[in-house]
Amino acid sequence: MKFLYPEYLKLLLLLVGLLPLCLYHLYTKHRTRLGLGDSLPLRRISHPSPLWREGMRYLLLNLVLAALVFALAHPQLIRETKVSEPKKMDIVFLLDTSPSMRANDILPSRLERALEVIASFSRKKLSHDRIALISFSAGSVILSYLTEDPNNILYYLDYLRGETSVSPGTNIGRALQNGLAVIARESEVSPEAAHHKRVFILLSDGEDHGKELEGAVREVKRLGIKVHTVGIGTKEGAPIPIAREGEKVQYLEDQEGNRIMTRFDERTLRWVAEETGGNAYRSFTGRELESTFAEIVLKERDTKGFKKVIEYEDAYHGVLLAAFGIFLTAMLI
């Protein structure tokens, strides 16, 4: 046990100094009663004497004061526990921004929901973890290299929210190549980062129209980087928005004027995950994304050992309750 304000314990010396005065007061009171002939009346032979009761009351009231002094000193219980010490992680988000990701079968849209969850993940991550952000559609852009600063990621997420240009197509292979470029650059700038756990999280509605996918997957696999894929979208699909004029939205149509619905290609995402040793996840409502990201990090997180953590638990509440109980006892005697 430790005391947050141990200087208050000096008040206990004052209580010790008052003890002789209390004893002297009881003695003189007892002598006075003897002089008046009220020491042991016959009707009180079977009950505790007034001297005994008053002595106990003085003792209990002093205990109350002592307890209040202890409470003022703010006692704390010391608890020592061992907690795991997590290693640093480098997480590269590969985010599909193709027109089909703007479908609103998941509100406010697939892309908007993905941006919300990545933003929340960035704010809550461990301070030493680093995040990179890559967007892709027909091509791919590295928006942010690996950084510990969540504000950097939040800036580019806001940029994607305001992006209105539409680039048709989905090139997952190009996104993986840019992910490898992020890792290669980091290895040049900071060689010690090679010891960090590296994970790719690929968020897409699944369709791939590029030609670089197989080669990119082979290179990712060679470097031992796992790609966890997260497919987003309802089973029914939705029309694909390609332009907006005020409140009017223009959707992608076929030659006959029928709206083209999104299609989810689960095979591609599952193949990418299986080839690289990752897991394939599916989000039908968008609400699963937060728990999915948390599960990925929990599974991939390595620990470098355990460290002792000392916690302090306030104990003055119990001391005050004890003081109250002693006071009530003193009043009942």
Query: Is 179 in the same domain as 264?
Result: yes
State the DSSP code for 3.
E
Number of domains in the chain: 2
Query: Is 160 in the same domain as 41?
Result: no
Q: Where are the alpha helices (DSSP H) in 8-127?
A: 11-36, 50-72, 110-124
Residue 246, pLDDT above cutoff 70: no
Query: Mean of the per-residue pLDDT values for the chain?
Result: 85
pLDDT tens sequence across 294-310: 999 999 998 877 777 88
Which stretch of 29-38, 142-151, 264-273 has the lowest confidence by average pLDDT? 29-38
Query: Is 142 in the same domain as 192?
Result: yes
pLDDT of residue 237: 79
pLDDT tens sequence across 1-24: 888 888 888 888 887 777 777 777
Token pair, residue 68, equals 């209040």
Residue 209, pLDDT above cutoff 70: no
- Stretch 55-69: mean pLDDT, rounded? 84
Orientation angle between helical segments 150-162 and 110-124, nearest 10 degrees: 170
Query: Is 123 in the same domain as 204?
Result: yes
Query: Is 149 in the same domain as 268?
Result: yes
Query: Is 314 in the same domain as 206?
Result: no
Query: Is 319 in the same domain as 262?
Result: no
Query: Is 73 in the same domain as 110?
Result: no
Query: Is 99 in the same domain as 68?
Result: no
Torsion of CA 193, 194, 197, 199, to 10 degrees: 100
Query: Is 69 in the same domain as 110?
Result: no
Domain CATH code at residue 248: 3.40.50.410
Query: Is 59 in the same domain as 180?
Result: no
Of residues 255 and 190, more confidently modeled: 190
- Structure pTM? 0.69
- Stretch 118-137: mean pLDDT, rounded? 95
Query: Is 192 in the same domain as 62?
Result: no
Domain range for 34: 2-80+309-332
